[in-house]
């Protein structure tokens, strides 16, 4: 019987593990396979407090080492099934485990275009986070792919750094809210390319440009090549919460609903990008993990 199991090995889960371990609760962390969350896909991180510059993988390594130093046990395994209908809770990994409490910190994943070149150039000019990586594109030309609120907000963020921002959208109108559309239309740095699909991201070791398939007003398909240095994919995120469906309350997109960090099930808490659809930052996730750990500690003392 475990006191607490943390599901997830990103900033939220590992920050929770550090606090839980220091409280003497000996947390068991299922970090996933592969472990580390989205930070493992990030090359350089310059906006995490205390680090002027650190590789995403190195930051995760330091967090893991700190958690283990204080007594957390970390397994690079996935949880495949959960039963949160009664206490103790039952989780299935390579074998069943029982626990008094759970912190869900499974994160979310960006939705990608599915291009081989996109995967090859990830972290080399391809990104899914303007707030994280926009600084690296100062005075450069970039493109944002998407047409919702997130895409247009990404484009507006990038105008603070880039000299020119293309917005590539596969339709002839945006789904985003009107006020954000107006800001985009009125920004002189932004150029919109309608009815366009990215065919390929061009470049060997860095992004050099993109190849577009554009449908003209006469419904004629043309190939267009754009020279640029960065591509930001903003077609949405999907929280990694499928195994919790029907177990805890979620919104229509699958994000777990919480009050502070508590879910709809007593003894089950959630933190990080599986809850947070707005900020999606490592430092925010870490803070949410700390909150969840403190809430679990209090709950175990009163249970």
User: Which residues are known catalytic residues?
Assistant: 129, 132-133
Q: Report whether the peptide linkage leading into residue 88 is cis, meaning its omega lies within 30 degrees of zero.
A: yes
Q: Which two tokens stand for residue 292?
A: 């969840």
- Within 8 A by CB and 6+ apart from 183, the residues are 152, 156
Interatomic CA distance for residues 254 and 259, integer angstroms: 16
Torsion angle, alpha carbons of 127, 150, 241, 302, to 10: 110
- Burial environment of residue 187 by CB neighbours within 10 A (0 to 12, 13 to 18, 19 or more): middle
Residue 165 in contact with residue 190, Cβ under 8 Å? yes
- Burial environment of residue 273 by CB neighbours within 10 A (0 to 12, 13 to 18, 19 or more): buried
The half-sphere exposure of 165 on its side-chain side, counting CA atoms within 13 A, is 29
- Within 8 A by CB and 6+ apart from 257, the residues are 248, 249, 250, 251, 263, 264, 275
């Amino acid at each position: 019987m475990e006191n607490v199991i943390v599901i997830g090995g990103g900033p939220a889960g590992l920050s929770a593990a550090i606090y839980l371990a220091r409280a003497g609760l000996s947390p068991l962390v299922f970090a996933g396979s592969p472990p580390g969350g989205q930070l493992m896909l990030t090359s350089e991180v310059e906006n995490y407090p205390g680090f002027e510059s650190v590789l995403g993988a190195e930051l995760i390594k330091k967090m893991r080492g700190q958690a283990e130093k204080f007594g957390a046990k970390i397994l690079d395994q996935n949880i495949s099934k959960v039963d949160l209908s009664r206490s103790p809770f039952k989780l299935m990994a390579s074998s069943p485990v029982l626990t008094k409490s759970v912190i869900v910190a499974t994160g979310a994943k960006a939705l990608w275009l599915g291009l081989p070149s996109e995967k090859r150039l990830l972290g080399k000019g391809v990104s899914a986070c303007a707030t994280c990586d926009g600084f690296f594109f100062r005075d450069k030309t970039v493109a944002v792919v998407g047409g919702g609120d997130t895409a247009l907000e990404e484009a507006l963020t990038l105008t603070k750094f880039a000299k020119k921002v293309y917005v590539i959208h596969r339709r002839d109108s945006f789904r985003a809210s009107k006020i954000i559309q107006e800001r985009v239309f009125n920004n002189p740095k932004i150029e919109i390319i309608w009815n366009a699909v990215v065919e390929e991201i061009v470049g060997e070791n860095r992004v050099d440009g993109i190849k577009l398939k554009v449908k003209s007003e006469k419904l004629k398909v043309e190939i267009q090549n754009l020279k640029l240095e960065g591509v930001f994919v903003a077609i949405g995120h999907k929280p990694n919460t499928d195994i919790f469906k029907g177990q805890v309350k979620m919104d229509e997109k699958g994000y777990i609903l919480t009050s502070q960090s508590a879910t709809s099930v007593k003894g089950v808490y959630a933190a990080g990008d599986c809850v947070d659809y707005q900020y999606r930052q490592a430092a925010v996730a870490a803070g949410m993990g700390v909150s969840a750990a403190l809430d679990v500690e209090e709950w175990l003392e009163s249970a």
